Structure 1
Amino acid sequence: MRMNRGQLSLIGLLLCCWSSVKAQDQYELNTGWQCANISRVTEKGETISDPAHALTGWQPATVPGTVLTTMLNNKQVPDPFYGMNNEKIPDIYNTGNDYYTYWFVKDFTEQPAAADQQVWLHFRGVNYSCDIYLNGKKVNAATHHGMFLRQTYNITRLLAKNGHNRLAVIIYPAPLAGNPNGGQGGDGIIAKSVAHQYTAGWDWIQPIRDRNTGIWDKVTIEHTGAVDVKHPHVVTKVPGIRLPEGPQAPAIVQVSAELENASDKSVTGAVQYAINGTTVSKKVTLAPHATTQVQLPDYTLQHPKLWWPNGYGPQALYNLQLQFVNAAGKVSDKETVEVGVREIQTSWNAHTGSREVAVNGQKIFIKGGNWIISDAMLRFSKERYDAEIRYHRDMNLNLIRIWGGALTERPEFYEACDKYGMLVFQDFWFSGDCNGRWVDPMKKEDQWTRRKYPDDHGLVLSSLTDQIKMIRNYPSLALWCGGNEITPPEDILTAVKDSILPLLDGTRYFFDYSNSDSMSHNTLGGNGDGPYGVQPLATFWEHRTFPFNSEIGSVGVGDYASLERFIPKENMVAPEYPGNKVDSVWYYHKYIGYDGFIDPYGKAKDAKDFANKAQLVNYDQYRGLMEGFSAHMWDWYTGVIIWKTQNPWTAMRGQMYDYYLDPNACLYGLHNGSEPLHIMYNPIDGMVQVANNTFTPRRDLMLQIFAYDMKGSVDTLTQVFADIGPTITKRYLSVKRGLDKLRKDKGIFLRLRLLDVHQQPVSENFYWLPDEKGNYSGLQEMAQAAAQVTAKRITKDSVAVTISNPANGPVAFFNRVALVDMQTKKRILPAFYSDNYISVMPGEQKTITISYTAGNETTGIELYGWNVKEGYYAIK
């Protein structure tokens, strides 16, 4: 950029003070809150917020948190996630809103501001309405409404002279909670408010009794000078087609921000940012009590380190520091943005009839998972977000879709997605179920009426504007979407497409709704999204669905250790098939039938046997799902998004790990089937194929195919050299005829390997194939394997577990490794396994590494398998 001499002098002065800048002065009010139901409070907010007023009989409150969370923590209600306890908690539809209307009070120390210093109060999320008082004064002129709309107040003049302050907030539930009558979103009335819809119940959750009323997100105090830096916006342009490796051409960084001058006089200074050791600045003069949008000069970043989705390259992040410095060289305010240099493009693939996503000029085959919310009662934490997104990384996925019946996720969620390379497909807060797409006898109002929900469209637009500003800087955020299976009302949709997004973002593609024609045509031979239940493996290979399927999924019951956490002993009864007889607690927790898929392994003897055999089905289902889609990438499909990968409640369907963050076999089947370079077997025609979801061609591979019988004897079916180009799937040869003969009586194991030029495996896959009648008769007769287990500590937070299987015996089949507390034998959660549910060939060994956060417990290893005796092993 070109500057005059005066500007250069000012910039020089500002640069001198850059190194002395401290972090933004901000802290969270997250402890020491008290609360009381409005039935116990007769005083007004002005009195309650007086620090001298005694709070007699008030109880501890959880903030951030909901009313129900506070009641649970105070032992006033049982854990609604266990058994049928949720039925013991009064529902707001029956009690009326006053039952869950609460006052929340927080005493805090904050000295009066000096000179031109300003003090700000921020609420990042309140559900649903609130009035705020501080030191006997009303803070918000009018009652706040809306779950998603953030609030900021300048409280400089309201602070107590002695530094002892009291904040009092009355929280009102949404005016119409809706009847939780068993419909999706209950009777639909919950959608009349600008809030999430699942709290009235869905097919994967029971109703949340207070509809998540409360101060559910962070409350913070911020200090600034006269000028507050607000809503920074960073856009990166990466022209051309890039590769993760090698020299990089320049990228363009564009930065803007809002500057609010809270003082009574005009302020002159400079807004500036530093990135990669370089400072970019712009001189501005701000009018008193005015907010000004400032666009800084574009910056050309030489040799950029690029951000890539998981599996395609590293996730480089730059620390960008944006601040306003006044003419005296004093920093007034500062914001920090983690910047991922990347550009996301989309195009229409005419061959598949679907949207295609590219990052930095390279097309990406989307392997995604649908995400509801981290915790149904909004008990969020940075650590839980990190663990959940890490699991998605470990599944070898590259995208998470945030479903429209929930919310705009918290910044900590996107931080984890940035870290682990997960693209994000963000729905807005509408659903076909509540917002009128279908005729639904469970709904109170007709489709035409529901089509106009929510009631306050102005509040929707304000909330959308605010939430877009909150998350638009995250490189992981890739796509916007109007809603789940339906668009917002026409006036909202038009405003979002024509005004709000072009003004506030404009860099990401917008889908009108989650399965719209702009995403995926229902092409010839297509049958829409889904299926949603357990399927024959052949279905995933031969049944053609939407070419960019936004929802397809299957079963997901956890193992016995998982079930024990929320099902009482008396309800540990295996579902019966045929007849679909299901225990009441299983049914309440949304069990989805495994139909006849357990029986081929032998009828389940009890709940533990059922859960163990369910893991075999789980693994096969999700490996088969991803393999079937990968086999047809760029021909039938440009992507797939699994419904769904996690549960925010103790449900029993569609989950790769349970609510307690314990993974099941779904995760590892998906981990296998989604690996970037993957060898696989087509169960229909017996074709061995390789999917290469990387940008690197491979011409140094050896393809090996083996068959093992139930006694461990091995046949080498073939061994040939193979090569494959980037981002394609290639068919090699069929082994159907030979396998059909070998598997006829007892079934057979099929082992596929890809070796590199150093004869090291780069992909390995292991299938168990049934006999000619479709039963796993051989598995039911397998001899026990004499597997040996050793565990060695690598670091304080990691362990290596090696399973050795002696020669001249059977395969050590389907072994589950778990990190446990040796005193209680309970699993340590979360823990991250390099692989699991593994099989070890005779005469071989395999090692699994486990990462976790070490505590004071005595750790050990639990291991059990199909034909390996359960045991516990000390860590050396």
Structure 2
Amino acid sequence: MAPSGVIIPVDKNWEFKQADKEDAEFLPAAQFPTNVHLDLLHHKLIPDPFIGKNELDVQWVGEAQWVYKTSFSGASVPEGAKAMLAFDGLDTFATVVLNGKTILETDNMFIPERVDVTSDLKEENELVITFDSAYLRGWKLVEQYPDHKWGVWNGDNSRLAVRKAQYHWGWDWGPALLTCGPWRPINLEIYSTKISDLSAESTVDKSLKSASIVATAEIEGSGSDQIRFDLSLNGKLIASETTTTSSSGTTASVTFHLDSPELWYPFRYGPQPLYHLTATLLSSSSEIHCVTKRIGLRRALLIQRPLTDQPGTSFFFEVNNIPIYCGGSDWIPADNFIPRISRQKYFDWIKLVAEGNQFMIRVWGGGIYEQPAFYEACDELGVLVWQDFMFGCGNYPAWPSLLESIDREARANVKALRHHPSIVIWAGNNEDYQYQESAGLTYDYSNKDAESWLKTDFPARYIYEKILSDACSDLIPSVQYHPGSPWGAGRDTHDATVGDIHQWNVWHGTQEKWQDFDKLSGRFVSEFGMQAFPSVKTIDAYLPLGKADPDRYPQSSTVDFHNKADGHERRIALYLVENLRYAPDPLEQFVYSTQLMQAECLASAYRLWKRQWKGPGREYNGGALVWQINDCWPVTSWSIADFYLRPKMAYFTVKREMAPVSCGITRKTHKHPRDKYTRVYIDTKTQIEIWGSNLTLENLTVDVVVKAWDVVTGEEVYSEKAKEGLELPENRSTEIVGMDVPVKQKGEEGKVVVAAYIIDKAGGKQIARYVNWPEPLKYVHLQKPKELKAVLSEDGTAVEISAEVPVKGVAVECEDDEVLFEDNLVDIVPGEVVRIGVKGAKKGTEFGVRYLGMN
């Protein structure tokens, strides 16, 4: 007999077959949890969709029906107990049959389901799950509701009708691969009473000297009238209290008051202590069931307040009274086949984010509510999370049963994730308000009659401003809810003065120059980006014949197939031709050129927007999240690290821009006309502006040195201390100096490279450096260095780089994948050695270099 309170994983002996094919035979599943593509791949029944153009050959998979089955031994259910089958995630239209009886039908990938099977269990049990085609079912629903004004960006209308990861329909960075299967664990639970949920609503006093935690347990079943709550930190019990359950026996709650609490901070601003909160059901002093959650105590606020001297309001996050400039990135699922993303891979990704000085990651609304390991990694490493609900780029319908499903989905996932201290905001959708504007759908922000929204051609407003808002208000009242991204309290979503914006007028839209990002700012930019090719190693991995493939060149049909963005050929070419001299061959140099382009573009955005982080009352820009950190398959995209976690060069330039202290220079040409009737200019002046960004929490006293070199000869033409004993106040950017470009004689501004160095006054150590080049770079007469050196240091911890002339964008390469660089794509000027930290190198390790202007 099985005791009450056991959990039996139903994860063995799974088999699958195509349900709508008469002669199909069951085959063993490759793993569990799983999906059909993984199992077909395992048995070599389909080609790898990530290789070549194989994606086209597997589209039939998403249009077929599939069945999974297993058998498991039953367990006797003690008197007064019950047996529940818990399905953590079924993708998506599933019919579940236990021992010949239909026990569940699902239509939402994101809702965990639990079914009472007490009376259905036998000594030997057969569990069969049939999955219908989400694609075909979606189109049937579209046809069933012809009055809805269907429309999407990316994928097709059928996805709007289905509560499934929207990127499975294909996106402008990912393939169309309609999966199905038991994508999360299945367990048999036997118990008489249990804790079904444990929550902790914490409040940290503004003084940070005290905190309170309201711990609440929801109880299912009977047989216990007492519950003990324990709070511990680092294995030490902090507080404990035993209480009785409510009169209904379904809940119990206690409040802990802590003096001098250990607070959770974003990395670099403090530690990430995680308390263990445990609830234990008791009966006659015996422990029946316990649940533990790891929680963090922090005071996290979204600050939206009037600014000192600009219109609109701020939009920035404050954690434990510290305003945080949220440089970070957007996140898509790390694979099209989610069950094969390991816990370690999640930690590797978030570690890459943190090591790249990115304080926030936004879980984008077209993917999934991520796996527990994702949020656990963010909690442990101190990365803030912006969490979208799973809606994106379309006009979603709102029939009653769908609204009911969405409400269940929202509440289940908020409950599952609300204990994570890293999550500081929930947003209702991705770009659905922008779609509403584009399609001219009805939206009257002043109308607060929620029921009337359902009668308009934009009924999804009811989802974002009623269902999701209510779920967050009920379950996580202390965490900010934001109806959409972008969204600005009913203003046009492009309004840069309120809320967050997505800035796509570089690449998309009006295709502005990235040098003008300062004119394209917003209070918080939650999307922007520039494409670049992935590592050459990644391209070789998806070409069917690898390095020997005849399509191994940038404009080949296979390489183009691995770029899903409309018009990518023109847009990559546009930004390349505007800025760089480049050639499509060899592939390695072209890949380098696109990565240099992306790196320059994104660094410009971070640098210019962070310049607008100017301290209290002047937080004109409170954050920038680049689209995107990662990929879901090997592809040319906006990611700054490719599918195999190989950083592109932009990863390193972003890392430098978000360093504790950084320096910026901008170069502007001022033209003065002869008079108002002519366009002839009598005077042209090129000036530079230099500023410093201090994201630390200490005021710094620094010297600022400015140097300049002739780009052709390498001759130093200027070296002066521009400021001495300058104070860089904490947590803001400060203007340092404006001056003419230093030249030997007028007219040579286009051939002078300028560098600024911020030097700590007390220690004499250089703490920031930036090299500014004449732009566009294609006009610069770049020299090929004769003495460019990139050698491993004596202690093996760094590559030391130097040259006798200025060299733009030196990228250090190594064939050994075990060798990892801590920085890369550095600008070299005469007279100094730049050190790039390296791990995994040893004596004899060979390094190659690429740079702008190299053949």
TM-score by length of 1: 0.79
Are the equivalent residues in 1 in contact too, given 2:328–2:358 (CA < 8 A)? yes
2:542 alignment partner, SS class = coil
Pairing 1:59–2:35 present: no
Matched to 1:615, the amino acid is Q
The structural deviation recorded for 1:28 is 4.9
Map 1:728-807 onto structure 2 (within 5 A): 728-738=732-742, 744=749, 746-748=751-753, 750-755=755-760, 757-767=762-772, 769-770=773-774, 774-775=777-778, 777-790=780-793, 800-805=796-801
| 2:330 equivalent among 361, 370, 378 | 370
Matched to 2:850, the amino acid is W
Q: How far apart, in 1, do the equivalents of 2:80 and 2:843 lie? A: 55
- Could you say if the C-alpha distance between residues 283 and 360 of structure 1 is closer, same or farther in structure 2, counting changes exceeding 3 Å? same
In the other structure, the counterpart of 2:697 is 695
The structural deviation recorded for 1:259 is 0.9
Q: How far apart, in 2, do the equivalents of 1:231 and 1:850 lie? A: 46
1:278 alignment partner, SS class = strand
Matched to 1:72, the amino acid is L
In the other structure, the counterpart of 1:188 is 157
Q: How far apart, in 2, do the equivalents of 1:810 and 1:27 lie? A: 68
Structure 2 unmatched ranges of 5 or more:
143-149, 434-458, 669-686
The structural deviation recorded for 1:669 is 1.0
Q: How far apart, in 2, do the equivalents of 1:228 and 1:728 lie? A: 50
Structure 1 unmatched ranges of 5 or more:
1-23, 43-54, 243-248, 436-449, 793-799, 822-826, 871-876
| 1:539 equivalent among 483, 499, 516 | 516
Deviation string for 1:637-657 (max 9, x for gaps)?
A: 222222222221233121110
In the other structure, the counterpart of 2:50 is 81
Name which of structure 1's ranges 810-819 and 651-660 shifts more when overlaid on structure 2.
Answer: 810-819
| 1:430 equivalent among 391, 409, 431 | 391
In the other structure, the counterpart of 1:45 is none
In the other structure, the counterpart of 2:146 is none
| 2:804 equivalent among 782, 786, 809 | 809
Q: How far apart, in 2, do the equivalents of 1:83 and 1:838 lie? A: 33
Q: How far apart, in 1, do the equivalents of 2:204 and 2:728 lie? A: 28
| 2:174 equivalent among 186, 198, 205 | 205
Q: Kindly report the root-mean-square deviation, in angstroms, between the aligned alpha carbons of the 2 structures.
A: 3.7
In the other structure, the counterpart of 1:447 is none
Pairing 1:386–2:362 present: no
In the other structure, the counterpart of 2:376 is 415
- Could you say if the C-alpha distance between residues 434 and 456 of structure 1 is closer, same or farther in structure 2, counting changes exceeding 3 Å? same
Q: How far apart, in 1, do the equivalents of 2:651 and 2:502 lie? A: 25
- Could you say if the C-alpha distance between residues 627 and 467 of structure 1 is closer, same or farther in structure 2, counting changes exceeding 3 Å? same
Are the equivalent residues in 2 in contact too, given 1:695–1:726 (CA < 8 A)? yes
Are the equivalent residues in 1 in contact too, given 2:14–2:70 (CA < 8 A)? yes
- Could you say if the C-alpha distance between residues 233 and 730 of structure 1 is closer, same or farther in structure 2, counting changes exceeding 3 Å? same
Matched to 1:212, the amino acid is T
Are the equivalent residues in 2 in contact too, given 1:339–1:474 (CA < 8 A)? yes
Pairing 1:173–2:129 present: no
The structural deviation recorded for 1:756 is 5.2
Q: How far apart, in 2, do the equivalents of 1:346 and 1:182 lie? A: 32
In the other structure, the counterpart of 2:620 is 636
In the other structure, the counterpart of 1:617 is 597
Pairing 1:219–2:165 present: no
Q: How far apart, in 2, do the equivalents of 1:727 and 1:301 lie? A: 29
Are the equivalent residues in 2 in contact too, given 1:130–1:171 (CA < 8 A)? yes
| 1:35 equivalent among 11, 16, 25 | 16
Are the equivalent residues in 2 in contact too, given 1:370–1:643 (CA < 8 A)? yes
| 2:728 equivalent among 698, 705, 724 | 724
1:75 alignment partner, SS class = coil
- Could you say if the C-alpha distance between residues 182 and 392 of structure 1 is closer, same or farther in structure 2, counting changes exceeding 3 Å? farther
Deviation string for 1:116-157 (max 9, x for gaps)?
A: 7766543221111323344x264x634133110002345566
- Could you say if the C-alpha distance between residues 747 and 707 of structure 1 is closer, same or farther in structure 2, counting changes exceeding 3 Å? closer
The structural deviation recorded for 1:219 is 2.8
Matched to 1:79, the amino acid is D
Q: How far apart, in 2, do the equivalents of 1:30 and 1:747 lie? A: 66
Map 1:148-297 onto structure 2 (within 5 A): 148-154=110-116, 160-161=122-123, 166-174=126-134, 176-178=137-139, 184-208=153-177, 211-222=178-189, 225-240=191-206, 249-261=209-221, 266-276=223-233, 277-285=237-245, 292-296=250-254
The structural deviation recorded for 1:683 is 3.2
2:593 alignment partner, SS class = helix
- Could you say if the C-alpha distance between residues 395 and 37 of structure 1 is closer, same or farther in structure 2, counting changes exceeding 3 Å? same
Deviation string for 1:293-349 (max 9, x for gaps)?
A: 2222x212222221112343222222222222222x222222221111102112323
The structural deviation recorded for 1:459 is 0.8
- Could you say if the C-alpha distance between residues 137 and 255 of structure 1 is closer, same or farther in structure 2, counting changes exceeding 3 Å? farther
| 1:504 equivalent among 472, 475, 488 | 475
The structural deviation recorded for 1:256 is 0.8
| 1:647 equivalent among 602, 621, 631 | 631
Pairing 1:456–2:402 present: yes
Q: How far apart, in 2, do the equivalents of 1:603 and 1:499 lie? A: 55
The structural deviation recorded for 1:368 is 3.0
- Could you say if the C-alpha distance between residues 172 and 658 of structure 1 is closer, same or farther in structure 2, counting changes exceeding 3 Å? same
In the other structure, the counterpart of 2:108 is 146
Q: How far apart, in 1, do the equivalents of 2:207 and 2:710 lie? A: 48
Deviation string for 1:161-207 (max 9, x for gaps)?
A: 4xx65543222333524599996343312111222222222222231
| 2:358 equivalent among 397, 401, 404 | 397
Deviation string for 1:797-840 (max 9, x for gaps)?
A: xxx5422346x83467644445654xxxxx24xx7642222356
Deviation string for 1:196-238 (max 9, x for gaps)?
A: 2222222222311xx2211112334556x53211221112211
Deviation string for 1:699-730 (max 9, x for gaps)?
A: 3x222333344555444243533212222110
In the other structure, the counterpart of 1:48 is none
Q: How far apart, in 1, do the equivalents of 2:6 and 2:835 lie? A: 47
Q: How far apart, in 1, do the equivalents of 2:54 and 2:18 lie? A: 22
Matched to 1:415, the amino acid is E
Q: How far apart, in 2, do the equivalents of 1:524 and 1:226 lie? A: 56
The structural deviation recorded for 1:635 is 4.8
- Could you say if the C-alpha distance between residues 354 and 810 of structure 1 is closer, same or farther in structure 2, counting changes exceeding 3 Å? same
Number of aligned positions between the proteins: 768
Deviation string for 1:28-70 (max 9, x for gaps)?
A: 555542211213579xxxxxxxxxxxx9643334332221222
Matched to 2:732, the amino acid is I
Are the equivalent residues in 2 in contact too, given 1:123–1:219 (CA < 8 A)? yes
| 2:272 equivalent among 315, 329, 335 | 315
Matched to 1:430, the amino acid is F
Are the equivalent residues in 1 in contact too, given 2:706–2:754 (CA < 8 A)? no
Deviation string for 1:408-458 (max 9, x for gaps)?
A: 222211111112222222221222x321xxxxxxxxxxxxxx543796211
The structural deviation recorded for 1:27 is 6.6
Are the equivalent residues in 1 in contact too, given 2:91–2:181 (CA < 8 A)? yes
Deviation string for 1:67-92 (max 9, x for gaps)?
A: 12221222111221222111111346
Matched to 1:707, the amino acid is A
In the other structure, the counterpart of 1:19 is none
In the other structure, the counterpart of 2:424 is 478
Are the equivalent residues in 1 in contact too, given 2:139–2:157 (CA < 8 A)? yes
Pairing 1:518–2:489 present: yes
| 2:413 equivalent among 446, 467, 480 | 467
In the other structure, the counterpart of 1:564 is 540
Name which of structure 1's ranges 589-598 and 780-789 shifts more when overlaid on structure 2.
Answer: 589-598
The structural deviation recorded for 1:350 is 1.8
Matched-pair identity in %: 19
Matched to 1:63, the amino acid is F
1:251 alignment partner, SS class = strand
Pairing 1:573–2:553 present: yes
TM-score by length of 2: 0.81
